[in-house]
Chain A
Amino acid sequence: MALPSSPPLPPEVTEDIDIPSSPPLLPTSAALPALPNRKRPLPDYDNNISSDPLFSEDPSEAEDQTEYEQPKRKRMVKGPWWTLGRKSSQQSAPRPKEDFRNADSGVWLGSDESIDSLLNNARDLNVAERIPTSSIAVHPPPLSQGERVAVSAIAGCLEAGRDAVDLSALGLEQLSSETLKPLHQLILQSHSTLTEPPSEDEFVALTPSIKLFLARNQLRSLPAELFRLENVTVLSLRSNDLTELPYAIARLRNLKELNIAGNNIRWLPWELMRFLERQEDGRRIIVRPNPLIEPTRIEGPSPLSGLAIQTNNEDLSRWSDTKEYYEGLRRSCMEHGPLNIRAELELRLKYGRLLRIQYLQEASRAGREVSLGPEELIYLASSAIRWYHVDGKPLQKPRQDQDLHQATLNPLNDAPEISGSSFAPSLFELASRSVQKEFDLQDVPADIPSTVKLALGAAVRGLEVGNQTCSTCARAFITARAEWIEYWHSGSPSQTDLKQEDILPFLRKVCSWRCAVPTAAGEFRC
């Protein structure tokens, strides 16, 4: 009895039967101070008391609850909405404490406000911390002198509704996507002289046909934005330092004129084939001069010139005959010695031409309309195919003594076990494509293998301009499995001899080993 505070516990444990007196204690001591620790002693009650005390006194409990909930609701409303979620989750610990103070005496009431204001301050601080991180403006690197001129030139065109954008000879070393972006908004000027009624031909669409001149700069690469400008019809990249024409050039569907003369381009993307195929609607491409790779040296008189070869079109009425004829030609040439690449190229050119003539004859007989371009496109030869692993590593190390790009008669020479491979995309490819779709590729984990990093790098580039499509099956891919050069003859049909400057090299890439099938001899495009 000397100690008033300690006894309550022992009696509870020892005198189990007398306990009914204790339940009332709970609600009455509902005086909130007890609330926080109401939960913790719960296990103690377990031994005998069922839960009925809690349910027995409904009114007081309801009262209890309202009292309990009100401050909660009030607090929920406080503060800006974006801290709500955080507050309720993070500050659940301090809450009972505050309750405790509120319900206590007035002593704490004064300081309550101050705590609130403190909290507010903290929140403000939080906000101040958070806003900059989420919306930090990444300052672009300062523009070069030339690019600033370009920006103002583009702004001028936009203003005046001019669709000829002249950015030539500005000394541009690079061009950012941002600079070109305003060109999306370019529309032509509509009827402006209000003194006269508009003439008939003014009722046309205001869609511009942008003519973009980037000639005589030092561009090494082209911005991705350029390939999103669908209205570009004339693109001049003459006299720059480009080493490769990106495959994305195919995305400029309305392109009519392309000038890439005077760069360091060694081959054209296969995608440009489509551009060359349809020359009938006035499409023009100026490729040379460029250090284009060559199938083989072509100089001196043709090796076939010594042989009496005449083509008699009358005899050639069916495709199979042409094939026989071609084989016959080859055999007769072989008699004079082994066939070198150049002779083979010339034979194939003849063969392709024959097939083309036959095709045209047949079409005219059937009454079909064939749109003829001024130039013919005839397949000549391929280089050896370079094979890649799933992750883009080359299968074999290139041999030093071998010219990779030289035309060869059997490009599938070093082929790996193609039969074992599948048309289905590799898991690596599938996964990297999904990653490209779903994730922010800017912050990939740092500890990934270098091959994966390379693939993701390619995926980032693919994201900018669209993934490359397989030149055989037209499926999009990120990592090419094989690539090779194809040489096509592009010249006027009237010219009989094979000339170096009529041969265009195209780089073909495919999505699977099974797709790596070079064009067959005799292929042509009209």
Chain B
Amino acid sequence: MASTNPPTEYITLVSSDDYSFVIRRSAACISPAIKRMLDPANGFIESQTNTCRLDNINGLVLEKVCEYLYYNEKHKDAKDVADMDLPMELVLELLMAADYLNGMFCI
């Protein structure tokens, strides 16, 4: 966890129940909230450790979120993208998580 000056290629997302997901920075930064956390200009601790703790998202949901982030990155320029399948029991929580990860308008 040494503070690295050039941004690493991979970053870690940690869920509320301490599952950690290592995903590509480019994918993670699709979420404005995570992007802001990791931006060194904002001086959050996350930009030093390259680890984001998401305390209101549990492991199950965060796994789907990570899957989505890669899905989004993969289909960036593709037209007629098929919708990603979301498990029915998680959709409400995913909706909340999505709201959280997009929100945070305070800079």
Known: A422-B30, A424-B72. A434 touches B81 (CB 8 A): no
> Which residues of B51-107 have CB atoms within 8 Å of chain A's CB atoms?
65, 68, 71-73, 75-81, 83-84, 86, 88, 91-92, 94-99, 101-103, 105
Cα-based distance from A423 to B30 in the complex (angstroms): 12
Q: Which residues of A contact B73 (CB under 8 A)?
A: 422
Cα-based distance from A425 to B88 in the complex (angstroms): 18
Cα-based distance from A439 to B94 in the complex (angstroms): 14
In contact, A428 and B81 (Cβ under 8 angstroms): no
A394 CB, min distance to chain B CBs, angstroms: 11
In contact, A431 and B88 (Cβ under 8 angstroms): no
Cα-based distance from A475 to B75 in the complex (angstroms): 15
The yes or no answer to A169 lying at the interface (CB within 8 A) is no
Q: How many residues of B contact A (CB 8 A)?
A: 29
In contact, B99 and A423 (Cβ under 8 angstroms): no
Q: Which of A423, A424, A425, A428 contacts B95 (CB 8 A)?
A: A428
Known: A423-B78, A431-B91, A449-B96. A389 touches B102 (CB 8 A): yes
> Which residues of A16-62 have CB atoms within 8 Å of chain B's CB atoms?
none
Known: A422-B72, A438-B91. A431 touches B78 (CB 8 A): no
In contact, A432 and B95 (Cβ under 8 angstroms): yes
Q: Which residue of A lies closest to B88 (CB)?
A: A438
In contact, B68 and A427 (Cβ under 8 angstroms): yes
Cα-based distance from A475 to B79 in the complex (angstroms): 11
**Interface residues, chain B, CB within 8 Å of chain A?**
30, 65, 68, 71-73, 75-81, 83-84, 86, 88, 91-92, 94-99, 101-103, 105
* New A-B pairs, 10, CB < 8 Å, besides A424-B78, A428-B98: A393-B105, A427-B94, A430-B84, A431-B92, A434-B88, A434-B91, A434-B94, A435-B91, A448-B96, A452-B99
Would you give 29 A-B contacts (Cβ < 8 Å), ordered by A?
A389-B102, A390-B98, A422-B30, A422-B72, A422-B73, A422-B75, A422-B76, A423-B76, A424-B72, A424-B81, A424-B84, A426-B72, A427-B101, A428-B98, A428-B99, A428-B102, A430-B83, A430-B86, A431-B86, A431-B92, A431-B95, A433-B83, A434-B88, A439-B91, A444-B92, A451-B103, A452-B95, A452-B96, A473-B79
In the complex, the 8 A-B pairs of residues with the closest C-beta atoms, listed nearest first: A431-B95, A428-B98, A427-B98, A434-B91, A424-B75, A422-B76, A431-B94, A390-B102
